[in-house]
C-alpha cells in the first residue's frame, strides 16, 4: 500500500469512536476505554484491544465489529491484538461515556467502590451504605441493590425506592 493512502492514527481513533459497544450500543468502544493502541507496523494497522471481563461473550463480536468498521474505511491489512495489561477497570470509561450511560438508563460506576476482597469493607459495600448510586430516571439516591449481577457481566441490578423503577448499575471493578 502506498504511504500516502495510509490514514493517520488519529483518523483511525475517530473511526473507532463510532463503533458502538454491541451490548450497550449507546456508548462506543473508545467511550468504554477498551482500545489500548492503534499503530501502523509497516503496511499493517495494529489495533490493541483489552477485554472488559475475561469471559465476556461480547469480546469476539467486538473484534468482528472493529474489523468490519476498519475494512469499510478501506483498511486492508489489519491485525487485532489482545492486551491484558493494565487490566481494564471502570476507571477507563470516559466522562462522556458515563453521561451517555446515565441518559440511556444505566447508572454509571461510582468510583472507589470496587470489590477488593478486603472483607472488612464488605458490609458497607453489600448494604450500599457507602454508595450513592443515583436512579438514572429520577436522580434519587434512595436506591437498593436487587442482585450483584445483571443482564451482562458488567452490570448489577438495582431498584429506585422513590420512583420504583428497576435499573442496571454499571458495577465498579
Partner 1 sequence: MPSLPDMTTPNVADLAREAAQTASAHPAVPQPDAGQEAFSEMLLRLGDSTLILGHRISEWCGHSPALEEDIALANVALDLIGQTQLWLSLAGEVEGKGRSADDLAYLRDAWDFRNLLICERPNGDFGHTLMRQFLFDAWHHELLKALAASSDPRVAEIAAKAGKEVAYHLERSSDLVVRLGDGTEESHRRMQEALDDLWSYAGEMFIGDAKDAEVAARGIAPDPSTLRAAWDQTLQHVLTEATLQIPEGSFAHKGGKQGIHTEHLGYILSEMQFLQRAYPGASW
> In the complex, which residues of this chain contact partner 1 (CB under 8 A)?
49, 51, 53-58, 60-61, 63-64, 67, 79-87, 89, 114-117, 119, 122, 125-126, 146-151, 153, 157, 171, 173
d(CA 55, CA 152): 11
Taking the least distance from each CB to partner 1, the nearer of 7 and 51 is 51
Q: Of 28, 172, 160, 161, which Cα lies nearest the Cα of 105?
A: 160
| Least distance to partner 1, CB of residue 46, Å | 8
CA angle, corner 169, sides to 143 and 120, nearest 5?
75
Identity of the residue, 7 or 153, whose beta carbon is nearer to partner 1 in the bound complex: 153
Question: Which CB atom, from 8 or from 87, has the smaller least distance to partner 1?
Answer: 87
Shortest distance in whole angstroms from residue 99 CB to partner 1 = 24
| Shortest Å, Cβ 28 to partner 1 | 20
Cell of 92: 477507563
Minimum CB separation from partner 1 for residue 85, in Å?
Answer: 4
3-state secondary structure of 1: coil
Q: In the numeric block, which cell numbers belong to residue 125?
A: 459495600
Sheet containing strand 78-82, strands side by side: 35-41, 44-49, 78-82
Cβ proximity to partner 1: between 68 and 141 the closer is: 68
Amino acid at each position: 500500500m502506498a504511504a500516502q493512502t495510509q490514514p493517520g492514527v488519529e483518523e483511525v481513533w475517530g473511526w473507532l469512536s463510532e463503533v458502538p459497544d454491541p451490548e450497550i450500543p449507546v456508548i462506543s468502544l473508545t467511550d468504554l476505554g477498551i482500545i489500548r493502541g492503534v499503530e501502523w507496523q509497516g503496511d499493517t494497522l495494529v489495533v490493541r484491544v483489552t477485554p472488559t471481563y475475561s469471559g465476556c461473550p461480547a469480546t469476539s463480536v467486538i473484534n468482528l465489529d472493529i474489523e468490519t468498521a476498519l475494512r469499510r474505511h478501506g483498511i486492508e491489512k489489519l491485525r487485532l491484538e489482545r492486551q491484558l495489561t493494565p487490566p481494564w477497570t471502570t476507571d477507563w470509561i470516559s466522562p462522556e461515556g458515563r453521561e451517555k450511560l446515565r441518559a440511556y438508563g444505566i447508572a454509571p460506576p461510582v468510583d472507589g467502590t470496587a470489590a477488593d476482597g478486603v472483607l472488612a469493607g464488605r458490609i458497607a459495600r453489600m448494604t450500599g451504605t457507602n454508595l450513592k448510586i443515583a436512579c438514572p430516571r429520577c436522580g434519587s439516591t434512595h436506591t437498593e441493590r436487587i442482585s450483584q449481577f445483571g443482564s451482562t457481566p458488567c452490570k448489577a441490578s438495582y431498584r429506585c425506592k422513590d420512583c420504583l423503577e428497576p435499573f442496571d448499575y454499571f458495577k465498579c471493578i
